[in-house]
């Protein structure tokens, strides 16, 4: 079935199921151009009835716009559910799964924000682990230094 909304970039759109026979050629909405339509209408004014009217065009444009708004609302609702799930994954430290889930987000800006948040959380954990390792190394060095000092004192106090 022909979907007229795909022809909204044209000034002249043939009504559903209509073909135009002009200059020994059949035209449909895929093949007719505005220039051909204007030429045919100029030569045969009654052909104007083969095309959708201004009112029909407005209805078609409004329908397309409405479908677009519904599609955007559906994407936003889907993204909202995904955002909650991703937030929970980030809180749980499941960064790889959170990154994987961001791929399904419809809005690029939202996806980019979540990826930045995931990377920030990963960095914070890496920094915490590095700080803990550094503290452990310092504690081991301190313990070793204290042990050597005690050994040296014991050796110095030996008669």
What is the value of pTM for the model shown?
A: 0.47
Phi–psi pair at 26, nearest 5 degrees: -90, 135
Query: For residue range 80-130, what is the model confidence (pLDDT) as tens digits?
Result: 888 888 888 888 888 888 888 888 776 677 778 878 888 888 888 888 888
DSSP 23-36: TTEEE-TTT--HHH
- Tokens standing for 151? 């050994």
Q: What is the pLDDT of residue 106?
A: 67
Angle at CA of residue 66, ends 63 and 67, nearest 5°? 85
- 9 and 57 Cβ atoms separated by less than 8 Å: no
Q: What is the pLDDT of residue 159?
A: 65
Q: Is the pLDDT of residue 157 over 70?
A: yes
Q: Is the pLDDT of residue 1 over 70?
A: no
Tally the C-alpha atoms within 13 A of residue 153's C-alpha that lie toward its C-beta.
6
Q: What is the pLDDT of residue 2?
A: 63
The Cα–Cα gap between 107 and 95 comes to 20
């Amino acid at each position: 079935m022909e979907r007229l909304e795909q022809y909204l970039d044209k000034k002249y759109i043939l009504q559903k199921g209509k073909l135009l026979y002009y200059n020994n050629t059949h035209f449909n909405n895929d093949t007719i151009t505005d220039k051909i339509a204007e030429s045919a209408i100029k030569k045969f004014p009654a052909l104007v009835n083969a095309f959708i009217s201004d009112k029909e065009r407005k209805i078609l444009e409004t329908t397309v716009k409405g479908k677009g708004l519904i599609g955007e609302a559906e994407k936003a609702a889907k993204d909202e559910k995904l955002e909650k799930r991703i937030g929970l994954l980030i809180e749980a430290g499941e960064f790889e799964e959170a990154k994987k889930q961001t791929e399904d987000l419809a809005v690029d800006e939202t996806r980019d924000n979540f990826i930045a948040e995931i990377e920030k959380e990963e960095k914070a954990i890496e920094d915490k682990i590095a700080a803990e390792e550094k503290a452990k190394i310092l504690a081991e060095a301190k313990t070793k230094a204290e042990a050597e000092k005690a050994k040296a004192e014991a050796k110095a106090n030996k008669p």
